[in-house]
Amino acid sequence: MGRRKQSDEIGKHPVRGPGRKAKKQGEPTFSKDLLPKDNADKKSSSRAKKRARKRLQKEKILEEKSQQQKEKKQKQKEKKLVETRHSDGESIQDEEDMNGYTDENQQWLQPKKNLKNLFGDDDNQDEQGPNNNEGYNDEFDPEDMDDDNDSVSDDDDDDKEHPKLAIEKQSTKIREKQRKTKELSEQELLTNIEQHEKVQFPSGQEVTKDSVPPADLQLLMHRIREVINVLNDFSKKREQTRTRKDYLDLLRQDLCSYYSYNDFLMSKLIELFPLAEIIDFLEANEVQRPVTIRTNTLKTRRRDLMQSLINRGVNVDPLDKWTKIGLVIYSSQVPIGATPEYLSGHYMIQGASSFLPVMALAPQASERILDMCAAPGGKTTYIGSLMHNSGILVANDANKDRARAVIANVHRLGLTNTIVTNLDGRHFSEHMGGFDRCLVDAPCSGTGVISKDQAVKTSKDAKDIQRCFTSQRQLLLNAIDAVNANSTTGGYIVYSTCSILIEENEAVIQYALNNRPVKIVETGLEFGVEGFSSFKGTKYHPLMKHCRRYYPHLHNLDGFFVAKLKKLSNKAATKNGGIVSDVTQVENSKLD
Ligand SMILES: C[S@@+](CC[C@H](N)C(=O)[O-])C[C@H]1O[C@@H](n2cnc3c(N)ncnc32)[C@H](O)[C@@H]1O
């Protein structure tokens, strides 16, 4: 055993060279094969060298093969000639390639019968015929060309200087044919488009429901775009015999066929959007919105939740700058509705747009708040978390089974300030009142969430919409009645739907303005499209601009409507108290 080096000796004596053992061993020796060919190779391992050698061999073989294939294509019948040019090994390789040859163009690769003798194949004399024994350098007979290959004959002069193989000439001929076919098809396409640049109305003067749209979807979309184009510059681009209505009818019918909507809903949508936007909206309905979740701040923080989910293989990101609790899930290796975090109530799976009504409601701690149409409880649980489990939150739903889902979610997310009721919201104030705030997330036609429920496209008609807005008006009036106008912190009502139809939104708010002492206030939401103050000749309250509309094609959110009202008096200030069938004028401007 040697003496252990003292710590103060370390680094004092520099290493002078190889130790005793290394000196004894001498220089290593390698077999010749393994010796590197150049300096660059010196650093390679033996495996790397082997690989390099293999690679070289492969490259060589590939090069040879491709060379052989080129030659083979040109001179498939020149085997003998090829054999004289190549070594024995190469000939065998050639043979193998021939056998494995599967070119679809094999037929045209066959030299013309009368050219076979070019390669001096005496065995094939019978097939070649008597006139074709001139030899390799002979000119190509232009008669062999098809009539449509005139341009190839231009090459003939060139041929005399650089004689081409028959097969090369054949190939030029085919290339020329292909070029011409391409030219023709391009011309045909242009003519097609020219034909369709003028909108093709179905035969007959009127577009009826029975008119059959083009079966080809591309043609159909082309016509849709053309009609929109005409409508956008009607006086210049229209056919003189056609009216604007003709074009609109055609457009509606084509859009119905292309996107599979019923006529009723499509008419509503065409009214609602500028022509330039309608296709964007319809296209957005064909695409699912991103999966989003809301952090339950009663139990966790967004950052921690994100980390836990990432650890489980969830590809997740903060949703957007307008929310501090939303997360967007791009993909997940685990079912997002069954993670331990989900089961322990750390988050709610919830569309991003449904955060918005709660943000507008702006619940305060210790308030009395009513969620009138609560099931399954996405917004209820958000309200509860903003209240920090203080005050009283009443979550109501008329549907018993759905009300049970609220109970489950309230438990899972750890709300302790919530009472779940199962009452008809239209009469709720007969049971309870005096709330500081109330959310009416009303049942609706679902025209904002078509991407989630494609059935909406064909299942809704005028009666459904009427049923919806009648119930919505009753619910909103009753919600107003349940709120205390003298609340020191609130006195607010938020009305929301996942519909984009005016009848279910601005018209309902207008109805409330007409029948209750309320005014529209700002939602506090920093983005969204303003509500309509007038629509198709109907005027709504000017403050309707404080309402917010959300669209899938503009905001990548479900279609949504949010309005916020402030109750001004607890006196029953109804004009007629009942349900009016239509709202046609502003009657609430005195509340400005
Ligand atoms: C749009 S959903 C509510 C979604 C809920 N706010 C959420 O965020 O999870 C509408 C709800 O209204 C309920 N509803 C329908 N008519 C009602 C009524 N007359 N009174 C109370 N709730 C009603 C439905 O059962 C349905 O659960």
Mean pLDDT of all residues belonging to the chain = 78
Binding-site residue set:
373-379, 397, 424, 441
Q: What's the gap in Å between 95 CA and the centre of ligand 1?
A: 79
Index of the ligand 1 atom closest to the CA of residue 424: 20
Given the residues 256, 444, 468, 498, select the one marked as catalytic: 498
CATH architecture of 353-591: 3-Layer(aba) Sandwich (3.40)
What confidence tens digit (pLDDT) does each residue in 7-58 have? 444 444 444 555 555 555 555 555 555 544 444 444 556 666 677 777 778 7
Q: What's the gap in Å between 441 CA and the centre of ligand 1?
A: 7
pLDDT number for residue 284: 97
According to DSSP, residue 112 is labeled P
Q: What's the gap in Å between 425 CA and the centre of ligand 1?
A: 9
- Examine the pLDDT at 327 and tell me if it is beyond 50: yes
Tokens for 97, please give them: 């390639």
Q: What's the gap in Å between 435 CA and the centre of ligand 1?
A: 19
Q: What's the gap in Å between 420 CA and the centre of ligand 1?
A: 13
pLDDT number for residue 163: 59
Q: Answer for the pair 481, 573: CB distance below 8 angstroms, yes or no.
A: no
Which residue is closest in CA terms to ligand 1's atom 25?
A: 399
Is 498 designated active site? yes
Domain boundaries, the chain: 217-284, 294-350, 353-591
Q: What confidence category does residue 203 fall into, taking pLDDT thresholds of 50, 70 and 90?
A: low
The residue type of 302 is R
Q: How many CB atoms lie within 10 A of CB 568?
A: 14
ipTM above 0.85, yes or no: yes
Instruction: Answer yes or no: is the C-beta of 441 below 6 A from any ligand 1 atom.
Output: yes
CA distances from 583 to 177, 469, 567 (A): 70, 12, 20
Q: What confidence category does residue 201 fall into, taking pLDDT thresholds of 50, 70 and 90?
A: confident
Q: What is the mean pLDDT of residues 315-322?
A: 97
Q: 224, 205, 206, 204: which is closest to 214 by C-alpha?
A: 224
**Residue labelled with tokens 């929310």:** 323
Binding-site residue set for S-adenosyl-L-methionine:
373-379, 397, 424, 441
pLDDT number for residue 184: 74
Q: How many CB atoms lie within 10 A of CB 165?
A: 17
Q: What confidence category does residue 409 fall into, taking pLDDT thresholds of 50, 70 and 90?
A: very high
Q: What confidence category does residue 66 fall into, taking pLDDT thresholds of 50, 70 and 90?
A: confident
Return the SS3 of 316. strand
Instruction: Answer yes or no: is the C-beta of 227 below 6 A from any ligand 1 atom.
Output: no
What confidence tens digit (pLDDT) does each residue in 114-130 have? 333 323 333 333 333 33
CATH code that applies to domain 294-350: 3.30.70.1170
Index of the ligand 1 atom closest to the CA of residue 377: 9
Q: How many CB atoms lie within 10 A of CB 287?
A: 11
Index of the ligand 1 atom closest to the CA of residue 372: 21
Long-range contacts of 389-393 (CB under 8 A, 24+ apart): 389/298, 389/414, 389/415, 389/416, 389/417, 390/365, 390/366, 390/417, 391/364, 391/365, 391/366, 391/367, 391/417, 392/367, 392/368, 392/417, 392/419, 393/369, 393/417, 393/418, 393/419
- The percentage of residues in the chain with a pLDDT greater than 90, rounded to a whole number, is 56
Which residue is closest in CA terms to ligand 1's atom 27?
A: 375
Q: Answer for the pair 532, 273: CB distance below 8 angstroms, yes or no.
A: no
- Examine the pLDDT at 113 and tell me if it is beyond 50: no
Mutate to test the pocket of ligand 1, among 397, 471, 472 (most ligand atoms within 8 A of CB): 397
Index of the ligand 1 atom closest to the CA of residue 443: 10
